[in-house]
Amino acid sequence: MNIEDKKQLKDLKARNYLFQVLDHTILEIILNKDTSKSTWNSMKQKYQGTTRVQCALLQALRTEFEILHVKVGEFVNEFFVRTLIIVNMMKANGEVLEDGTIIQRILRSVTSKFNYVVCNIEESRDTSILTIVELQSNLLVHEQCMRSHDDKEHALKIIHGDCSSGWTRGCGSFKGKGRGRGYSNDMCGKK
């Protein structure tokens, strides 16, 4: 087997690998390409688009990354998934993002209930060596503590009654002073 045959065999193997991972509709578009290089370039243009389209997409992703904030009712894991999807799309389109930049963006994006955790992290740790996984773990621990506290608080409200449940007898700010029949909606409690 001469050098030309070896090159052709190598090229055919590469094309075979590319064809195995492609969808049939895409395969029909690029099937007429002669070499693995032309097949690859065709796929690259198909999936990434032209440079102008790629720049526009990257600009939109940068904007989305900069305005990123935790949504109301969103959990830490959900926020991290959403953030990392944007980051990975930016990296796939040629953006160079350091972990420190991503961590700073996340720290600025969390809600006010995480303020003291953010301050603690910024004061006690070097955020340039902090990993995204460590940050996620810290925020998850805080979120779980808050959920546990909220569950306990909710249970206590149920046990002791809720002040907004209506009128109660014998409580309020005008107890026993001859003003009304002792029904009040101002305060809650039992006598």
Is 169 or 60 the better-scoring residue by pLDDT?
60
pLDDT value at residue 183: 53
Neighbours of 114 (CB within 10 A): 20
Q: What is the pLDDT of residues 48-93, one digit of tens each?
A: 666 787 888 899 999 999 999 999 889 999 999 999 999 999 998 8
Tokens linked to 114: 């995480």
Res 180 pLDDT > 50: yes
Instruction: Kindly give, in sequence order, each residue whose CB lies less than 8 Å from that of residue 143, ignoring residues fewer than 6 positions away.
Output: 75, 76
Predicted local confidence at residue 149, as pLDDT:
66
Q: 123 or 186, which is more confident?
A: 123
- 191: confidence class by pLDDT, cuts 50, 70, 90: very low
Q: 60-67, long-range: CB within 8 Å, 24+ apart, which pairs?
A: 61/86, 61/89, 61/90, 61/93, 61/95, 62/90, 62/95, 65/90, 65/105, 66/105
Structure tokens at 165: 């449940």
Residue that wins the pLDDT comparison between 176 and 59: 59
Contacts (Cβ under 8 Å, ≥6 apart) of 172: 182, 183, 184, 185, 186, 187
Q: Which residues of 20-48 are buried (b: 16+ CB within 10 A; e: fewer)?
A: eebeeeeeeebeebeebeebeebbeeeee
